C-alpha cells in the first residue's frame, strides 16, 4: 500500500472516531432537562389562582392593606354600616375576585372578607361562620375531585388567612385565641399587628413578643416558614431568616401618594412627620408582601393541599365509613327482626296445619263410628 493510501486510510479512521465521539456526546443529551421549561410554559398558559382571607375587627385597615398589597381597589362599592347596625350584625362572608397580570403571568386573586367579625356585643359565635365557610370549600373541592370530570376543578380553598390583631391591647384577646384555635388546623394563619404607626418601635417589639408568647401558651399553630435548602444562596437564606423574625408582621396600609423631596412615596402624613409604607424601618409591609406574593405563595398552596386538605379528607372519609358501618348494622338488625318474624309466622302455620289434620282425623273417626253404629241398628231391626 502506498504512502498516500495509508494517509487516506488514517484520515478516514480519524474522521470515523471523531464522528463516533460526536454522536456519543449528542446521544448523552436525552432532553428531559427541558422539563422545567415545559412545566413553566404550561403553568403560565393556565394561570394561577390564590385565595386570601382577611379576618379582624372593623377599623383595623384590612381593606386598605389589601389594596396596598396588590396595587388595586377591590372595595369600590362597599357601604360602611352604621354603629347601630354593627351592634346587632352577624358575621358575613364576602368574596371578591380580581384578575391581575404581571409580565405575562396571570393571577386570579380571590379575597374573602369577614365584615361584622367581632363587632357585635356577643362574639361567641363569630368564629363559626368563618369555620363553616372553610369547611364548605373543602367539601366542594372533595366533591369535584371525587366526580367523573376532574379536568376543570375550581380551587376555592382558602390558602392563607391574615388575622389582624388590634394594637390597642396588651396581646391577644379571648376572641383572637378562640378563632385561631378553631381554625389553625384548617388554614394557614399569618398574624398581623394592624396600624403599627400608632406604636413606637419599642412598643411594637414588646407586643410582638407578647403575641408570640400567648400563641405558644395556647398551643396555636400558625404558618411556619419552610427551612431553606443547603444549596440556596446566602442572600435568600438571610431574607428567609428576616421573614421568620418578623412574625407577627407589623404593618401600615395606605393608598395615598405623597411627594417628598421630589420623590413619590406611599405613606401617611402626620404633623410630626411622614410614615412610609414601603420603608422597612417603619413597618413590615415589604416583608409581608415579599412573603405572601414573591417567595411563599406556592408553599402556602402546597401546605393547604398536603396538610389541611388531607386532614379534612381523611376525617371526612373516616366519618363516611362510620356512617356506612352504622347503616349496615341497622340493616342487619332490621333483617334479623324480619327473619324472626318470618320464622314465627311459619311456626304458626305449621301448628294450624297440625290442628287441621287432627280435626280431620277426629271427624273421620266419628264418621266411622257413626257408620258402625248405624249398621248394627239395621241388623237388630231385621
Q: Does residue 265 form part of some domain?
A: no
Distances (CA, A) of 120 to 57, 86, 112, 317: 10, 6, 20, 36
Confidence band (pLDDT; 50, 70, 90) for 343?
low
Closest listed residue to residue 165, CA positions, set 61, 266, 74, 63: 61
Range 23-41 average pLDDT:
67
Candidate from 209-213, 268-272, 332-336 with smallest mean pLDDT? 332-336
C-alpha cell at 312: 379534612
Confidence (pLDDT) at 121: 59
Confidence band (pLDDT; 50, 70, 90) for 37?
confident
Calpha distance 316→324 (Å, rounded):
12
**Domain at 226, CATH number:** 3.40.50.300
Confidence band (pLDDT; 50, 70, 90) for 3?
very low
Q: For residues 297 and 227, which has the higher predicted lDDT (pLDDT)? A: 297
Range 134-150 average pLDDT:
87
Judged against a pLDDT cut of 70, whether residue 305 lies above it is answered with: yes
Cβ–Cβ < 8 Å for 190, 223: yes
Q: Does residue 194 form part of some domain?
A: yes
β-bridge mates for residue 161, sequence order: 53, 189
Candidate from 125-134, 352-361, 362-371 with smallest mean pLDDT? 362-371
Handedness of CA 191, 197, 199, 201 (dihedral sign): positive
- For 58-84, what is each residue's pLDDT tens digit? 888 888 888 888 777 766 666 665 555
Cβ–Cβ < 8 Å for 82, 23: no
Query: What total of structural domains would you count in the chain?
Result: 1
Q: Does residue 14 form part of some domain?
A: no
Calpha distance 118→44 (Å, rounded):
40
- For 162-195, what is each residue's pLDDT tens digit? 999 988 878 888 888 998 999 999 999 999 998 8
Range 319-346 average pLDDT:
71
Judged against a pLDDT cut of 50, whether residue 95 lies above it is answered with: yes
For the full predicted model, state whether its pTM sits above 0.75. no
Q: Does residue 91 form part of some domain?
A: yes
Range 304-308 average pLDDT:
92
- For 270-290, what is each residue's pLDDT tens digit? 888 888 888 888 888 888 888
Judged against a pLDDT cut of 60, whether residue 8 lies above it is answered with: no
Range 22-37 average pLDDT:
64
Confidence (pLDDT) at 344: 67
Judged against a pLDDT cut of 70, whether residue 232 lies above it is answered with: yes
C-alpha cell at 212: 408570640
Confidence (pLDDT) at 367: 73
Calpha distance 373→367 (Å, rounded):
10
Q: Does residue 48 form part of some domain?
A: yes
Confidence (pLDDT) at 13: 53
Closest listed residue to residue 218, CA positions, set 186, 164, 166, 176: 176
Q: What is the rounded average pLDDT for all residues in the chain?
A: 79
Domain interval for residue 143? 44-251+283-325
Q: Does residue 108 form part of some domain?
A: yes
Q: For residues 259 and 132, which has the higher predicted lDDT (pLDDT)? A: 132
Range 348-370 average pLDDT:
79
Q: Does residue 353 form part of some domain?
A: no
Q: Does residue 303 form part of some domain?
A: yes
Distances (CA, A) of 124 to 10, 129, 182, 249, 336: 93, 11, 12, 27, 47
Amino acid at each position: 500500500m502506498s504512502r498516500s493510501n495509508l494517509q487516506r486510510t488514517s484520515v478516514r479512521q480519524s474522521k470515523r472516531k471523531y464522528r463516533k465521539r460526536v454522536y456519543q456526546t449528542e446521544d448523552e443529551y436525552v432532553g428531559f432537562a427541558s422539563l422545567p421549561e415545559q412545566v413553566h410554559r404550561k403553568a403560565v398558559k393556565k394561570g394561577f389562582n390564590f385565595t386570601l382571607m382577611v379576618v379582624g375587627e372593623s377599623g383595623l385597615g384590612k381593606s386598605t392593606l389589601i389594596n396596598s398589597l396588590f396595587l388595586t381597589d377591590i372595595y369600590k362599592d362597599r357601604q360602611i354600616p352604621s354603629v347601630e347596625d354593627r351592634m346587632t350584625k352577624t358575621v358575613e362572608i364576602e368574596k371578591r375576585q380580581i384578575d391581575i397580570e404581571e409580565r405575562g403571568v396571570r393571577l386570579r386573586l380571590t379575597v374573602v372578607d369577614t365584615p361584622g367579625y367581632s363587632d357585635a356585643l356577643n362574639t361567641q359565635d363569630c368564629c363559626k361562620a368563618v369555620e363553616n365557610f372553610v369547611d364548605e370549600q373543602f367539601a366542594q373541592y372533595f366533591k369535584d375531585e371525587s366526580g367523573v370530570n376532574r379536568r376543570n376543578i375550581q380551587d376555592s380553598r382558602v390558602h392563607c388567612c391574615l388575622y389582624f390583631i388590634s394594637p390597642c391591647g396588651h396581646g391577644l384577646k379571648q376572641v383572637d385565641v378562640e378563632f385561631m384555635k378553631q381554625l389553625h388546623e384548617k388554614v394557614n394563619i399569618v398574624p398581623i399587628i394592624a396600624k403599627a404607626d400608632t406604636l413606637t418601635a419599642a412598643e411594637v417589639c414588646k407586643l410582638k413578643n407578647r403575641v408570640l408568647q400567648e400563641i405558644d401558651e395556647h398551643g396555636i399553630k400558625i404558618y411556619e416558614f419552610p427551612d431553606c435548602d443547603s444549596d440556596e444562596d446566602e442572600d435568600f437564606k438571610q431574607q428567609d431568616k428576616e421573614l421568620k423574625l418578623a412574625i407577627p408582621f407589623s404593618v401600615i396600609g395606605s393608598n395615598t401618594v405623597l411627594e417628598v423631596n421630589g420623590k413619590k412615596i406611599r405613606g401617611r402624613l402626620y404633623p410630626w412627620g411622614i410614615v412610609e409604607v414601603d420603608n422597612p424601618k417603619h413597618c413590615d409591609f415589604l416583608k409581608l408582601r415579599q412573603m405572601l406574593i414573591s417567595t411563599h405563595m406556592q408553599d402556602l398552596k402546597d401546605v393547604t393541599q398536603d396538610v389541611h386538605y388531607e386532614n379534612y379528607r381523611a376525617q371526612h372519609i373516616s366519618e363516611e365509613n362510620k356512617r356506612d358501618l352504622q347503616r349496615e348494622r341497622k340493616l342487619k338488625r332490621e333483617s334479623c327482626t324480619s327473619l324472626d318474624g318470618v320464622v314465627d309466622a311459619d311456626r304458626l302455620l305449621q301448628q294450624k296445619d297440625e290442628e287441621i289434620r287432627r280435626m280431620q282425623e277426629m271427624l273421620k273417626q266419628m264418621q266411622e263410628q257413626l257408620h258402625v253404629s248405624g249398621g248394627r241398628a239395621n241388623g237388630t231391626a231385621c
